[in-house]
Amino acid sequence: MYQILKQIVKTGIKTETPPQADEAMRLQAQRLQQEILDVFRGALAIRQVDAGSCNGCELEIHAVNNAYYNIEGLGIKFVASPRHADLLLVTGPVSRHMEVALKRTYDAAPEPKLVVAIGDCACDGGIFGESYASCGKVSNVIPVDVVVSGCPPTPTAILQGILTAISAKK
Amino acid sequence: MPIKHPSLHLERMNGAIPAWRGRITGEDLQPICQNVCDGGGRLVALWGSDERAQGHGFALHVVLVNENGLVCLSVPLPAERPSYPDISRIFPAANRMQRAVYDLLGIYAHEGNDHRKWLRHAAWHSGSFPLRKDFDAAQSRTEDLDNYPFVQVEGQGVHEIPVGPVHAGIIEPGHFRFSIVGEKVLRLEQRLGYTHKGIEKRFESMTLQQGAKLAGRVSGDSTVAYAWAYAMAAESIADTTPPDHALWLRALLLERERVANHLGDLGYLGNDVALSFGFAQFWILKEQVLRNNATLFSHRYLMDTIIPGGVAVDLTVEGKRVIEQECAMLEQQARILRGIYEEHAGVQDRFIGAGRVEPKLAAQLGLCGLAGRASAQSWDTRVQFPCAPYDKLDVQMATYRNGDVAARVIVRFDELFESLRLLRNILVNLTSGDELARPLDQLPANGFGIGMVEGWRGEVLVAIHSDTEGKLTRVHPHDPSWQNWPVLEHAIMGNIVPDFPLINKSFNLSYSGQDL
């Protein structure tokens, strides 16, 4: 126990200042009222859905949980079920084999809900595009509020996308 | 000559790894496979190709490995009712590969006893095959729901827990069907293929350079390994060798990928046994590696740094200093954390004995890579077939016999420290300012080449076939997860359901890499 406490003290606090919201990431006008956004801002629950990605975006979504980005410090946490979620974070081109699962996950999340598409493939199909096995971008399958491009997007960009989704349109 | 058989005539292939190729008839397939299996060899990959445009039928390609090298056997098959003898009774790992070959090409294994679909769910009709050149995507589309016959376990008190495809964590999609009694798992059956996004078909419309980018996105956590294996296959066809400087840089990139992934996994393995301290600490270290990658090579995961013919990045004198300092810091910190993991009673209680794969079972099922080495399967491409620059690095293989979660943790720690040692050695040998690439624009016509690289998870193989104009006509990327997923079904038996996330993480297999 002593070793663990010593290591924690020596490591210190690594958390950095979070990024500001960026309106350029918004795909459709903010649909939610200020009152709801105020509630989300203090306690947002996210369900992540990999709809067919290469796992690159997942690595960066894991990274937003590390001490540097410390997403939980902002009152945002990842939950195990869409039924507990306010926001879906969706990666990948949507594979045709995940199309039904993604739609069902979207339907299972209670209203009001937000969707943020993460990564080039989720934004426009990326390198995989549309094919016999791929539906392409996420907005081909479910409504999307905010898109975050990048292959994969950095943790800062992902955080920025989430914060944009829960900020009111100025 | 790696294997001998009366009707087998092998010719040595060009390239960085010792590989031979031969054409055989269907009747010789089983005896040759049996021969290799009896000699301690393994199945590495199995895929098919449509060669009707060249005036042939179809072909099945099987890559086997033994201590002498790789053997690629091609079996020409007729255009009508193409079939070959089942080899899954010799190499159980062939089962899912054979089923995938049927789903994509309509080539089937006769005498086999498992003809269920594997990669196909319901995106296309059962009678149409995406990798056939005359495949019509619009005509083949269906809107049916997937229907898959899982094996049922019956008995008093037995019930099923279906999990997925959308999992509880931040993880790729797949379906797990647990048959349990109380908390104990009697059987796990996996249903994968959810992330099948048509990668192999996509390659066929790409140039050699575009293909390199796609290869780097087959499995995002192994981008360096795939890009190198792809480049190696292309260089084998063109019979060229990249500049020495580029090869040293490739090894540097590959070891950095291994370090980053092992750090991340060690953090998550702590987290999965409720030691969130481990996650916090290891992910601070991983983040520092990723940030250095971004500064030095312009990409946190090193995507697109390897191109056919060489590399697209260089390392400055200042960059070498950054990596030297990073290695020293990682070595010191990881040693402290290893001490904490090893002395933590709660952690060791969960690690030891969980998800055990005995060496005998591992050998029988063909468990490979990191998980294989934790079950005494001493295969490491960097050691057995050291292509430049590994021939000058004398890699020490990490192996362990226990085959449990604890063993897979130990192997990760050992490989982490070995990679740090290799990185320092590479820096000593790396002279800056040399030629970075002898760019490869076009492949020769009708070529065939393979590349194999020891990624952090295990051996990654890429095979390339070029057509009469030198274009990509068939590319098959093979992930070690093909071999290891079925072994996970055995590892979980007799364990309790709450240990599954831990055992699964200790293998950390790729979905995208096997779904393609």
Question: Which of B85, B199, B244 is closest to B474 using CA atoms?
Answer: B199
Residue B65 has a pLDDT of: 95
Residue B431 has a pLDDT of: 78
The distance in angstroms from the start CA to the end CA of chain A is 49
Contact B218/A78, CB-based, under 8 Å?
no
Of B146, B171, B201, the CB nearest to A131: B201
Q: How far apart are CA A30 and CA B312, in angstroms?
A: 42
DSSP one-letter string for B32-82: HHHHHHHTT-EEEEEEEEE-GGGTS-EEEEEEEEETTEEEEEEEEE-SSS-
Q: How far apart are CA B459 and CA B320, in angstroms?
A: 28
With left for phi above 0 and alpha for psi between -120 and 50, is residue B106 left, alpha or beta?
left
Residue with tokens 């400055």: B316
**Token pair for residue A106?**
């979207």
Which residue ranges make up each domain of chain B?
11-139, 158-191, 199-507
Q: Are B229 and B452 in contact (CB under 8 A)?
A: yes
Contact B337/A58, CB-based, under 8 Å?
no
The answer to whether the B11-139 and B199-507 domains have the same CATH topology is: no
**Token pair for residue B86?**
């089942």
Residue A41 has a pLDDT of: 77
Rg, chain B, Cα only: 22
From A51's Cα to the closest Cα of chain B, the distance in A is: 7
A91 at interface of B, judged by CB pairs closer than 8 A: no
DSSP B302: -
Among A97, A100, A106, most B C-beta atoms within 10 A, so best to mutate, is A97
Angle between helices B481-491 and B94-105 (to 10 degrees): 130
Q: How far apart are CA B133 and CA B102, in angstroms?
A: 15
Considering only residues A130 and A37, tell me which one the structure prediction assigns the higher pLDDT.
A130
Contact B281/A11, CB-based, under 8 Å?
yes
Question: Which of B39, B163, B27, B23 is closest to B91 using CA atoms?
Answer: B39
Of A3, A49, A51, the CB nearest to B340: A3
B264 at interface of A, judged by CB pairs closer than 8 A: yes
φ/ψ (deg, to 5) at B417: -65, -35
A66 at interface of B, judged by CB pairs closer than 8 A: yes
DSSP A151: S
Cα-Cα-Cα-Cα dihedral of B80, B85, B86, B89, to 10°?
180
Residues of chain A positioned with their CB less than 8 A from the CB of B204? none
Residue A169 above 70 pLDDT?
no
What's the burial of B118, exposed, middle or buried (CB within 10 Å: 0-12/13-18/19+)? buried
The distance in angstroms from the start CA to the end CA of chain B is 33
Which helix (H) or strand (E) element contains residue B336?
helix B317-343
Contact B283/A63, CB-based, under 8 Å?
yes
- B405 CB-near residues (< 8 Å, 6+ apart): B269, B350, B351, B352, B354, B355, B502, B503, B506
At the fourth CATH level, the homologous superfamily of domain B199-507 is: Cytochrome-c3 Hydrogenase, chain B (1.10.645.10)
Residue A170 above 70 pLDDT?
no
A5 at interface of B, judged by CB pairs closer than 8 A: no
Of A8, A53, A134, the CB nearest to B198: A134
**SS3 for B331?**
helix
**Token pair for residue B319?**
């960059």
Residues of chain A positioned with their CB less than 8 A from the CB of B290? 63
Contact B219/A4, CB-based, under 8 Å?
no
Residues of chain B positioned with their CB less than 8 A from the CB of A58? 170-172, 220
Question: Which of B349, B401, B342, B480 is closest to B65 using CA atoms?
Answer: B480
Q: How far apart are CA B122 and CA B105, in angstroms?
A: 16
Q: Are B404 and B353 in contact (CB under 8 A)?
A: yes
Residue B165 has a pLDDT of: 93
Residue B98 has a pLDDT of: 96
Structural domains present in chain A: 26-169 (3.40.50.12280)
Window B:123-142, CB contacts with A under 8 Å = 123-124, 130, 135, 137, 140-141
Residue B112 has a pLDDT of: 78
A58 at interface of B, judged by CB pairs closer than 8 A: yes
Strands A146-148 and A76-78: unpaired
A13 at interface of B, judged by CB pairs closer than 8 A: no
Residue A83 above 90 pLDDT?
yes
Angle between helices B317-343 and B405-429 (to 10 degrees): 160
Question: Which of B462, B465, B467 is closest to B450 using CA atoms?
Answer: B462
With left for phi above 0 and alpha for psi between -120 and 50, is residue A84 left, alpha or beta?
alpha
Residue B441 has a pLDDT of: 87
Which helix (H) or strand (E) element contains residue A159?
helix A155-165
Window B:337-396, CB contacts with A under 8 Å = 337, 339-340, 343
A129 at interface of B, judged by CB pairs closer than 8 A: yes
A73 at interface of B, judged by CB pairs closer than 8 A: no
Contact B170/A48, CB-based, under 8 Å?
yes
Question: Which of B234, B212, B245, B231 is closest to B388 using CA atoms?
Answer: B245
A120 at interface of B, judged by CB pairs closer than 8 A: no
Amino acid letter, residue A74: L
Contact A97/B194, CB-based, under 8 Å?
yes
Which pTM does this prediction carry? Answer: 0.95
Q: How far is CA B390 from CA B71, B251, B260, B264, B387, in A?
A: 21, 8, 20, 25, 6
Among A7, A9, A48, A54, most B C-beta atoms within 10 A, so best to mutate, is A54
Which helix (H) or strand (E) element contains residue B485?
helix B481-491
A100 at interface of B, judged by CB pairs closer than 8 A: yes
Question: Which of B253, B381, B246, B359 is closest to B310 using CA atoms?
Answer: B246
User: Average pLDDT for consecutive 10-residue bins of chain B (516 residues)?
Assistant: 80 91 93 93 96 91 94 94 94 95 94 89 91 90 86 91 90 95 94 96 95 96 97 95 94 97 96 94 97 96 96 92 96 96 95 96 95 96 93 94 96 97 94 82 93 96 94 96 96 94 96 96
Residue with tokens 């053997």: B71
A1 at interface of B, judged by CB pairs closer than 8 A: no
Q: How far is CA B272 from CA A59, B176, B268, B377, B440, in A?
A: 17, 19, 6, 26, 45
Q: How far is CA B219 from CA B196, B227, B476, in A?
A: 12, 10, 13
Contact A101/B194, CB-based, under 8 Å?
yes
B214 at interface of A, judged by CB pairs closer than 8 A: yes
Question: Which of B254, B173, B266, B176 is closest to B221 using CA atoms?
Answer: B254
B290 at interface of A, judged by CB pairs closer than 8 A: yes
- A66 CB-near residues (< 8 Å, 6+ apart): A155, B280, B283, B284, B286, B287
Q: What is the CATH number of domain B11-139?
A: 3.30.460.80
A103 at interface of B, judged by CB pairs closer than 8 A: no
Residue A35 has a pLDDT of: 74
Residue A30 above 90 pLDDT?
no
Strands B306-307 and B310-311: antiparallel
